[in-house]
Amino acid sequence: MTIDDAPREALRGGPRELLRWVATGAAVSRADLSRLSGLSPSTVSQRVEALINQGLLEETGAGRSRGGRRPRQLAVPTGGAVVGAIDLGAHHARVGTLDLSGRVVQARTLPVRIEDGPEQVLGSLLAEVAALVGAAAPVSSDGASAATGGEAAGALRGLGIGIPGPVQHATGRIVSPSRMPGWNGFDVAAFCAGRVDVPIIVDNDANLMALGAHRTAHSELDHAVYIKAGTGIGSGVISSGRLHRGAQGSAGDISHCRVVADPAPPCSCGNAGCLEAVASGAALVTALREQGVTVSDLTGVIRLIDDGDRHATALARQAGRAIGEILAVVVNFFNPQVVAIGGRLADCEPLLASMRATLYERCLPLATQTLLIERVATSQDVGITGAAHLVIDHVVAAN
Ligand SMILES: [Zn+2]
């Protein structure tokens, strides 16, 4: 084992991992957990008992007998306890409840006017979470896992919130967001804590996407970078299997890295030629309008690209190159196993193709030899899934 492997190794068989093995169906008994973790049966039993006492695991009667006493099966409760999640975007929010394994119970998309300010926007989204929790009656998902029928419907265990702007991790405050007038300095966690009495975790939307995508598709890979390219642009970094936030929470924020662009368009931050001013969805809308093309929003831009419009396609290629240039620096520096792009621009083929080409052109061969470059599996629930995992990790770690 190298020194680099040590942090990941230390997690092996930790409560979080035991919970995840049961949640994913990899383990249904203490014996399975012992085999997967390499831990002694008594250590596994101790940890399982603790998880059961916290309501994070339950026993569901007898498994199949192999001659001796029938073993009790373990399951993640599907009936009562849920985690609330809000993935706030510039124009829409995805709101959901998820079970303690990170599976979506209910979710819906709501239109949002971010300029209405934090109290109004968050107030109505919290009301939506409460409505979903109230509606989350215990359900026996497939009959196989017994629902905890006696439990009150939808016991909320925590709330995870993704914000489309920089979030100071220690405090949950929003710091200088570029397209969120009235939100600067707002303490999201404190505002929500005054309304729901559960642990609340606030992070930026790119981090939530990174965590959701990593846990869903690539949890076996230790080093990954996820780009979120939508109205804005950002990234989330997974290092040694964990979300890497840096000292303040701004790790992965590539929006104001400078790219080669002539002329360099002005950016909302006061500089010019930032990635966000060249390659974000908002930048594409602005650039097309300046070329005299009538387009109202990012949906319109994507439609033009899909229709093969030459102005829109050229801009998408330029955006892909710009993202590729910044990513090449990141890949050379960080040496990830996978780079995945998500967000609404990820479906733009010309953008993806030029991003990929630039990456191969600018990266060290050793860095790209086995590098996976792909799309984040298109799911509108990836953000709320990441939010739920943040909360679940927090709840498990706190006990
Ligand atoms: Zn900028």
Residues in the chain: 399
CA of 268 to the centre of ligand 1 (A): 6
Whole-number Å distance, alpha carbon 298 to ligand 1 midpoint, is 19
pLDDT over 70, % of the chain: 88
Say how many Å lie between the CA of residue 276 and the centre of ligand 1.
6
Give me ligand 1 centre to Cα 371, in Å.
29
CA 114 to ligand 1 center in whole angstroms: 20
Q: Taking the model in full, what pTM does it have?
A: 0.84
221-242 pLDDT, tens digit per residue, is 999 999 999 989 999 999 999 9
Read off the pLDDT band of 168 (50, 70, 90). very high
For residue 251, how far is its CA from the centre of ligand 1 (angstroms)?
16
Residue 8 has pLDDT above 60, yes or no: no
The rounded percent of the chain whose pLDDT value lies above 90 is: 66
Q: How many Å lie between the centroid of ligand 1 and the Cα of residue 116?
A: 23
The answer to which of 8-22, 37-51, 150-164, 309-323 has the lowest mean pLDDT is 8-22
Which tens digit of pLDDT belongs to each residue from 61-95?
765 556 666 667 898 876 667 899 999 998 899 99
pLDDT-derived band at 141, boundaries 50, 70, 90: very low
Q: How far is the CA of 272 from the centre of ligand 1 (A)?
A: 6
Single-letter amino acid, residue 16: R
Looking at residue 147, what DSSP letter applies?
A: P
CA–centroid distance, 148 to ligand 1, in Å, is: 51
Q: How far is the CA of 225 from the centre of ligand 1 (A)?
A: 21
CA distances from 311 to 61, 132, 294, 300 (A): 63, 43, 12, 13
Tell me the CA distances in angstroms from 249 to 9, 100, 128, 206, 230, one per residue in order: 24, 25, 27, 11, 20
| Statement: residue 217 has pLDDT above 80 | yes
Distance 178 CA to ligand 1 centre (A): 8
Q: Find the range with the poorest average confidence among 28-42, 65-79, 114-128, 197-211.
A: 65-79
Predicted confidence band of residue 144 (pLDDT cuts 50, 70, 90): very low
Cα 321 to averaged position of ligand 1 atoms, centre (Å): 17
* pLDDT in the model for residue 63: 58
For residue 195, with 0-12 CB atoms within 10 Å meaning exposed, 13-18 middle and 19 or more buried, which class applies? middle
pLDDT higher for 303 or 2? 303
Kindly give the distance from the C-alpha atom of residue 333 to the centroid of ligand 1, in angstroms, as a whole number.
Answer: 22
Task: Give distance in angstroms: CA of 47 to centre of ligand 1.
Answer: 47
